[in-house]
């Protein structure tokens, strides 16, 4: 995936920014899922 993006001429900083956003969104979704599971357990 990273190699394909580089072949397309994408800026490396844009790739890093995209990865950072992906990590933040993934972490946020995980927190949301864990919170909903905790409330269901009660």
For the chain, what are the domain ranges?
A: 2-41
- pTM (global) more than 0.85: no
Greater confidence (17 vs 7) lies with: 17
pLDDT of res. 25: 96
What percentage of residues in the chain have a pLDDT greater than 90? 31
pLDDT for 21-37, tens place per residue? 999 999 999 998 888 88
With the CA atoms of 8, 4, 19 and 23 taken in that order, what torsion angle do they form, in degrees rounded to the nearest 10?
150
Spell out the residues 6+ positions from residue 12 whose beta carbon is closer than 8 angstroms to its own: 6
Flag whether pLDDT at 16 surpasses 80. yes
């Amino acid at each position: 995936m990273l190699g394909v993006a580089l072949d397309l001429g994408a800026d490396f900083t844009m790739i890093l920014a995209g990865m950072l956003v992906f990590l933040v969104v993934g972490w946020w979704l995980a927190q949301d899922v864990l919170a909903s599971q905790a409330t269901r357990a009660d």
